[in-house]
């Protein structure tokens, strides 16, 4: 069980946004925009292909961490998100866990993951705030898990992941409340 958790943590601690922007000659993504290593901040570089690749790789590492887990996929799922958010390679300052968390949900409980993704897309299109979309997507996931009759361990896992996402978005929540949160620039897409 602990081996699976450690493997999930290490897989998901790979900072694809940082690596891809460095390989593309854009420098350190943490010096741009929000300073985050995720796809939304990579999009701020104007390189939508890199942002899409970051999104895909961050999501896929979450999927991989759950699928290769032995007897403890739920524990691996939580450690996967923690690995992305608090990677040892970046002195425990990583991303906000959105793409990795969605990947984890898709692998752990596909219907829950699909509804979380749909919620993210719907909120992003409606409100144009990536943070509000993420908070909504993960906020509904425990309820969706309960409605779909997922095992209690999966519902608990979605609750822990949602709490972690809220924690990592605490500055965004303050900016949303003050009307200072930047919108998603769909023109960059």
Q: Determine contact, residues 152/183, Cβ cutoff 8 Å.
A: no
- Number of CB atoms found within 10 A of residue 117's CB: 16
pLDDT digits (tens, 9 = 90+) for 11-35: 999 999 999 999 999 999 999 888 8
Q: What is the pLDDT of residue 186?
A: 64
Provide the b/e sequence for 10-33 (b: ≥16 CB within 10 Å). Answer: bbbbbbbbbebbeeeebeebbeee
| Statement: residue 79 has pLDDT above 60 | yes
CB-based burial of residue 175 (10 Å sphere; 0-12 exposed, 13-18 middle, 19+ buried)? middle
Q: What tens digit of pLDDT does each residue of 33-78 get?
A: 888 999 989 988 889 999 999 999 999 999 999 999 888 999 999 9
| pTM (whole model) above 0.85 | yes
Which runs of E-coded beta strand occur in the chain?
none
Cα pseudo-dihedral 96, 50, 127, 104, rounded to 10: -40
Quote the pLDDT of residue 67.
Answer: 96
Say whether pLDDT at 183 is over 90.
no
Q: Copy the structure tokens of residue 73.
A: 């996929």
Asked if residues 18 and 38 have their Cβ atoms less than 8 Å apart, the reply is: no
- Per-residue pLDDT tens over the stretch 132-156: 999 999 999 999 999 999 999 999 9
Q: Which long-range contacts does 168-171 make (Cβ < 8 Å, 24+ apart)?
A: 168/85, 168/95, 168/96, 168/97, 169/96, 169/131, 169/134, 169/135
What's the whole-number mean pLDDT along residues 172-181? 94
CA distance 130 to 185: 10
**The pLDDT of residue 189:** 52
Task: Provide the mean pLDDT of the chain.
Answer: 94
Q: Nearest to residue 97, comparing CAs of 28, 170, 45?
A: 170
Main-chain dihedrals φ then ψ at residue 93, nearest 5 degrees: -120, 90
């Amino acid at each position: 069980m602990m081996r699976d958790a450690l493997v999930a943590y290490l897989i998901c601690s790979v900072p694809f946004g940082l690596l891809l922007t460095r390989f593309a000659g854009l420098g350190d993504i943490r010096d741009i925009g929000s300073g985050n290593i995720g796809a939304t901040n990579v999009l701020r570089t104007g390189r939508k292909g890199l942002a899409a690749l970051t999104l895909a790789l961050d999501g896929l590492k979450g999927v991989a961490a759950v699928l290769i887990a032995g007897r403890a996929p739920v524990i691996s799922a939580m450690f996967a998100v923690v690995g992305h958010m608090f990677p040892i390679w970046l002195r425990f300052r990583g991303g906000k866990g959105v793409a990795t968390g969605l990947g984890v949900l898709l692998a752990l409980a596909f219907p829950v993951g699909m509804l979380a993704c749909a919620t993210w897309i719907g909120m992003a299109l409606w409100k144009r705030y990536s943070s509000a979309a993420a908070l909504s997507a993960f906020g509904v996931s425990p309820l969706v898990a309960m409605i779909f009759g997922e095992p209690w361990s999966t519902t608990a896992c979605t609750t822990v992941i949602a709490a972690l996402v809220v924690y990592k978005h605490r500055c965004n929540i303050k900016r949303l409340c003050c009307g200072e949160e930047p919108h998603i620039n769909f023109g960059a897409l």
